[in-house]
Amino acid sequence: MDQEITTEQLKEVLLLVKARYGYDFSQYSEASIKRRLERFKKIARVSLPDLKYHLVNDSSFFFWLLESVTVNVTEMFRDPPFYKALVNAVIPLLQTYPRIKIWHAGCSTGEEAYSMAILLHEAGLLERTRIYATDINMANIEKAASGIITLERTKEYTANYHKAGGNADFSDYYSALYDNVVISKELKKNILFSQHNLVVDEVFNEFQLICCRNVMIYFNHALQAHVIDLFYRSLSPLGFLALGTKESLLFSDKTAKFEVIDNTNKIFRLKANG
């Protein structure tokens, strides 16, 4: 059962998933998705033929696989220097727009979108902002919309928040509920959580800022190029694009359309003639 999955076997499983459920993972980074599938096989304690059998016959098994194969790890104010850079280099420029629209693509369970809402609130901009937070996985979206976070993580988030330059009392942004905390209504109000699959879904609005952090690392070159093109078409003139700290625009044909605002924190901006 611990056997390594071959490239051929991986292809078979992905084809089956695509045919039966319409989700296309064929352009995901192979090394990563293979590892995730091997891990899932161990957790589910199934052989490869059984795995395929369950996939064909049991949709709940597929959703379990979907949740396990995509990487959902996230946190509030992850990479504090990134948020500091947003406050210094991006938010002052967003201020000039009467209506601000921001897209978090691949928002997982929402922590990133809530962090953004806090920054906007502190800049006095949240009231005129709409944050669209999307993910491929409906279970993530439901969790995100609930605004519930486990209590034990708040300590780490509080530390991140202060490292990112936040001066308020972080506990003002949530209320305690047994072993959890709930994000305050004020912050939730202007965030719209919905399902969106970057592989197949299209442009749905125009944004001044798109954050897509630690999502495209799981995609191969071709899919990365496709998604960057989607963002390119979704940005308003002079709009910003923020990626994860290890991601770059280097391998896209749209590189020349963007200027680098902050290379360490991976913040880019559409050029005027872009």
CB of 97 to another protein, least distance (A): 31
Handedness of CA 30, 133, 19, 69 (dihedral sign): positive
Distance (Å) of CA 236 to CA 55, 155, 206, 248: 41, 37, 6, 20
> Which range in 30-38, 90-98, 115-123, 204-212 contacts another protein by CB under 8 A?
30-38
Q: Does 9 bind another protein (CB under 8 A)?
A: no
Which two tokens mark 80? 């504090």
CB of 231 to another protein, least distance (A): 16
> Which range in 36-44, 118-126, 177-185, 210-218 contacts ligand SAM by CB under 6 A?
210-218
Cα(31)–Cα(9) distance, rounded to whole angstroms? 13
- Measured in whole angstroms, how far is the alpha carbon of residue 171 from the centre of its chain? 24
CB of 244 to another protein, least distance (A): 8
| Residue closer to ligand SAM (CB basis): 47 or 195 | 195
Cα(111)–Cα(92) distance, rounded to whole angstroms? 22
CB of 160 to another protein, least distance (A): 10
What CA dihedral angle connects 106, 108, 110 and 113, to 10 degrees?
-20
Interacting residue with another protein among 8, 45, 73, 96 (CB under 8 A)? 73
> Which range in 40-48, 70-78, 160-168, 184-192 contacts ligand SAM by CB under 6 A?
70-78
Interacting residue with another protein among 9, 32, 158, 194 (CB under 8 A)? 32
Number of residues that bind another protein (CB under 8 A): 24
> Which range in 29-37, 172-180, 196-204, 228-236 contacts ligand SAM by CB under 6 A?
196-204
User: Which region, left, alpha or beta, applies to residue 173 given φ > 0 means left and ψ of -120 to 50 means alpha?
Assistant: alpha
Position 161, amino acid: Y
Q: Report whether 140 contacts 112 (CB < 8 A).
A: no
Position 16, amino acid: L
Position 250, amino acid: L
| Residue closer to another protein (CB basis): 38 or 50 | 38
What CA dihedral angle connects 244, 245, 246 and 252, to 10 degrees?
60
Q: Does 84 bind ligand SAM (CB under 6 A)?
A: no
Q: Does 115 bind ligand SAM (CB under 6 A)?
A: no
Helix (H) or strand (E) holding 100: strand 100-105
Site residues for another protein per CB under 8 A: 4, 7, 29-32, 35-36, 71, 73, 214, 216-218, 220-221, 224, 244-248, 250-251
What are the residues binding ligand SAM (CB under 6 A)? 70-74, 78, 106-108, 112, 135-137, 140, 197-199, 213-215, 244
